[in-house]
Amino acid sequence: MKQHREIFEQTSYLKEKLEILKKLKKEQMDKPMDKRDSRLLNFIWKEQSVYSYALKQIAWFTNDPLLESETEPVEHDFHKALPPPVHHKKNINLITWGGLGDALLATPALKALKETYPHSVVTVYHQRWHRDILLNNPYIDKLREASFWKYPLAWLAFKLGIRTLESLNYSYTLPKEPGATKMSDVIAEGLGLTLTDTQVQLFLTEREDSEGKEAIASFKKPIAVCPSTVSFKNKQWILERWEDLIKAMPSYSFVQLGGKNDPLLKGAIDFRGQPVRKSVAILKHTLCYVGVDSFLGHAAAAVNVPGVVLFGPSPFHMFAQASNTNVIRRTSCSPCSGLINQSQCPYNHECMRKIQVNDVKKEILKKMETCKLTCELSFAISETF
């Protein structure tokens, strides 16, 4: 009885808070775009997510379908609540944000920006680790490291408001309901653009391409594998299952890419710790990529390699590449990456543990067979015409 009373009190408290936040949001959204408080809106959406997630967990714990039906999905359309920037036709200055995958997700927006403003000079100030992602990109006129010491006058102009610097940061968005906008679209909308081409892009030189091909030329039926991710440890699959997957496919050579400190999988060929661009060049010449949601999953799409990506805590409908096969075993608490961040999963990574070795093996074989048939069909059509 006491437990029921406590649950009722907690539920009432959460509903009351959500109602207050709903009113605050309405007040802001009723204002003209240029009068809205971006910081307050950001706070409101984050708080709504936390309280809605808590209600969802109570509904799951109590097995109360009525309470679950009352839990409204939170629309994190923050990028649509503020006016898009007005680009100066002569110079457009951007700054990158996040990890390697985040920079790659921004490449469709860079293409759309240059095509929309072909006579503008697009300058991208990048984080040091983003250079390898953006190098040789034809839609960037000037690529500069985001360093005060290298470009003091530019940074002073940005700080004083003499020049405008627009960010490719999408961190205000949180896990959405299925059907939500893809991250590449969110980045583009933040720049006032609508994407017609969502293909992520990374431009290798001919020499890099040939070196990647040569590096794995001696291996039979190579499959690229990356079991780890730097950004979010809760995404990782059980190490022993990766090794069981390699054992279950003895006719293939598993080429392990990723960080030099990642654990080496038994039976894998060690290519850990390679420079980013060399890793992508090697990836390009494999039959397939398999790994968790990370940079290399996006890179596989960039170099048109069939990909099988394991999703758990991250919202696949926002981050998954359309060309990849995404293996998902949903639980009541996922996706949760925007809520618990680097905190330890309280449910022992249930969403990842539900993925079995045979599930992944089946998807790899199916993906490679589908791509083989597609290539044969394309070749036959080209021969005919």
Query: Mind listing the pLDDT tens digit for each residue in 300-338?
Result: 999 999 999 999 988 888 888 989 999 998 888 888 776
Report the pLDDT value the prediction gives residue 34, as an integer from 0 to 100: 61
Return the CATH fold of 91-190: Rossmann fold (3.40.50)
Q: Residue 247 has which token pair?
A: 């054992």
Angle subtended by helix axes 357-384 and 239-248, to nearest 10? 50
Hey, what CATH class is 215-384 in? alpha beta
Per-position pLDDT tens, the chain of length 385 = 555 566 667 777 777 877 888 888 888 777 776 677 766 776 777 677 777 767 776 666 666 655 554 555 545 454 455 555 555 558 899 999 889 999 999 999 999 999 999 989 999 999 999 999 999 999 999 999 998 888 888 888 888 888 888 888 776 544 344 445 788 988 888 888 889 899 999 999 999 999 999 999 999 999 999 998 877 788 889 999 999 999 999 999 999 999 999 999 999 999 999 999 999 999 999 999 999 999 999 999 999 999 999 999 888 888 889 899 999 988 888 887 766 767 788 888 899 999 999 999 999 999 988 876 554 444 344 444 4
At 227-279, the pLDDT tens digits run 988 777 888 899 999 999 999 999 999 999 999 999 999 999 999 999 999 99
- Angstrom distance (rounded) from CA 367 to CA 238: 22
Alpha carbon 270 to chain centroid, angstroms: 26
Domain boundaries along the sequence of the chain: 2-75, 91-190, 215-384
Specify which residues 288 forms β-bridges with: 223
SS3 176: coil
Q: pTM of the predicted model, to two decimals?
A: 0.78
- Angstrom distance (rounded) from CA 296 to CA 259: 11
Q: Is the peptide bond before 84 cis (omega within 30 degrees of 0)?
A: no
Q: Same fold for the domain at 91-190 and the one at 215-384?
A: yes
Instruction: Give the Cα-Cα-Cα angle 341, 343, 345 (nearest 5 degrees).
Output: 105
Q: What are phi and psi of 142, to 5 degrees?
A: -135, 130
Report the pLDDT value the prediction gives residue 377, as an integer from 0 to 100: 42
Closest residue by Cα to residue 110 from 30, 2, 190? 190
- Angstrom distance (rounded) from CA 309 to CA 54: 28
Where would I find the H helices in the chain? 2-29, 38-62, 65-70, 78-81, 100-105, 107-116, 131-134, 152-159, 183-190, 206-215, 239-248, 276-284, 295-302, 316-319, 337-340, 350-353, 357-384
